[in-house]
Structure formats: structure tokens, C-alpha cells
Amino acid sequence: MNKVMSMAQAIGDNVSDGGFLFIGGYICRTPFGAIHEIIRQGKKDLTITRSNAADDFDMLIGAGAVGRFIGTFLSLGLYGLARCYRRAVEHGIPREIEVEEYTNLSLPMMLMAGAMGMPFVPVNDMMGSDLLNVRAFLGENKFKIIDSPFDGRRTLLVPALHPDVAIIHVQQADEEGNAQMWGIGGDCQMGANAASKVIVSCERLVSREIVGKDPSRTIVPAFKVAAVVEDPFGSHPGYTPGFYDVDQSFGYMYQQASNTVEGFQAFLDEWVYGVKDREEYVSHYIERFGYKQFNDLKAEFDYGYPVSYSY
């Protein structure tokens, strides 16, 4: 079944106000094309999750799309603190958000539990930390502490997460939705498979035959996927291994713009509302910064060490 469609249709058909989203992008392959479309369509009251959240979450929060955040931390990485996130938490600008905080181990484990159909999972790294002293919208269900049935030791349990929709960006997928990635994985595979359905954006569409030649790269099977979007340069200003590098100058530009509400709005007006899709975004980038800067981001092609699949 061919599931290829535009990003506008994929978001419009599958992301609802008040929905719970897992958004892939642990350090790399952030689905910025989808992030921008969510903002353009004015989605609101979303609950969003990922460990190691970054500028994509900051942007959604600054645009007023988010009501709740289940995370581990949120920063702009190389560019410092997340400005929109801080304004929302400290001053309720543009709106108040509720935050439920876990660790960089416990949250992926919660997604893993969701993907495996388990109701909860034991973790140890939160024990003794102040994360146990603060509960938000999950209340008593943020965690439980029990005596282990095996040795009687106190054991911390955290609940499985079941997002309504996962949105991930990968290097390649076929038209049915078999999605393949390489590079840093983070919680992408677990988050995608914990969700009820998945939107896959990819740098390139390939045939089912290509997918079948290296099946171990497939992180999401077609039956989980509701939409496939071919979205080249879809992770910019982040990076996608094998395709393009981090655009540090653009990331710094976002950090400077998001220092103020007015600067952030001007950024959205130019780079989100001012373009209708990723194709126009790339065209505008080239017009603004020149083709050389765009071309310099592209990765050189390099083969991995050959692998024999014979018996």
C-alpha cells in the first residue's frame, strides 16, 4: 500500500489538538519539516516527549503548540539555554506548560516498555534524586516504589508511554513505510514503536527491494506507519548522517532570534509561516545565504566496509 503524501496531509490527517506525540531526533535526524508544519497548521495543547530535547521542542513551545512536556532536559546544545522553554516555564509566555521530568535512562526505558507491551519498567537511576520530589500532571502515576519480589530491595517503577503518534525522520524508507536509519539511534526506534501510529519523513524514497537488501537497518515496519513523506533536507538545521552536517551558523541565528518574543516571532514569520513546505524552505535558504553555503553542508559519499550476505 502506497502511503506517500505531502507533509501537510500527513500532519493534517494524523496529528490532532490535544494529542500525545513522540518526536524523534536524539541529537540527529530531527524532523524539522514536520515541526514547521505542526506550527503552520496551528496545532495546540500537545503533549510532547523525547529524551535529550532540543531546539525543535523549544520552537513548538514558543509557538504555543505545547501544553505538556515529558522530558529529561531541554537545551539548545551548542547554543546554550532554550529561550522559549524558559519563558514558558518561568513566565507562562506564550502559555503555561506542565513538565514531567525523568532521566536520560528512565525515559527511553518507558518508551521501550510501551513498545514491548509492558505496563511499567524498573529503573534505578532516579532513586535518591530530587526528581522523586516533584510531580506534575502524572501525579501518583509518575513512579511507584515497591519491594522487589526477588530479593526484597526497594525498586523504582516508571510507567510505559504510549504516544498517539510518533514522528521520525530517517535516511530512507519505501512507499509502504518500512523505515531505515543509521547513525546515533537514541530513543527513536523505541519511541516510534511505542506509538499507535507513525509518520515517517525521509531523505529519499527507495524500493522495497533496496530495503530488503539490508533489513537490519529497518527500525519501523510498514504496518505501524500511517504516512510517508519524502522530505530532503528535512532535519536542517540539524544533521542527517550520510546526507548533511549541522548548520551551526543557522542554529546560532535561531538562538539569537529566540532571545526575545519579537525576535522569535520574526523567525517564525520568515522560516515557518513564510514558506509553504520544505521545498520553499530550501529555496529561501539558498536565496538568503547562497548555494555555496547550502552545498557545503552536504556530506561526501563514502562506502562502508563491504558485507557479504552469502551462506
CA 262 from chain center: how many Å?
Answer: 26
**Nearest CA-CA partner of 10 in 230, 172, 267:** 230
Return the pLDDT at 6.
Answer: 98
* β strands within the chain, DSSP E: 20-23, 46-50, 66-71, 98-101, 120-123, 144-147, 154-159, 165-173, 179-180, 197-205, 218-220, 225-230
Same domain, 23 and 170: yes
Q: Residue 281 maps to which CATH number?
A: 3.40.1080.10
Same domain, 150 and 166: no
How many structural domains compose the chain? 2
Q: State which residues form the domain around 112.
A: 106-159
- Looking at 142, 159, 176, which one is the last position of a domain? 159
Task: Calculate helix-pair angle for 278-289, 261-271, nearest 10 degrees.
Answer: 110
Return the pLDDT at 160.
Answer: 98
Grid coordinates representing 172 are 530512507
Contact 97, 89 (CB under 8 A): yes
pTM of the model: 0.96
Return the pLDDT at 307.
Answer: 80
Same domain, 170 and 251: yes
Same domain, 56 and 184: yes
Provide the β-strand partners of residue 163.
Answer: none
Return the pLDDT at 306.
Answer: 83
Kindly give the parts of the chain with pLDDT less than 70: none
Q: Residue 124 maps to which CATH number?
A: 3.30.30
Same domain, 153 and 293: no
Within 8 A by CB and 6+ apart from 123, the residues are 103, 105, 106, 109, 156, 157, 158
Return the pLDDT at 303.
Answer: 82
CA distances from 257 to 43, 59, 86, 135, 160 (A): 22, 11, 14, 32, 37
Same domain, 61 and 150: no
Return the pLDDT at 308.
Answer: 83
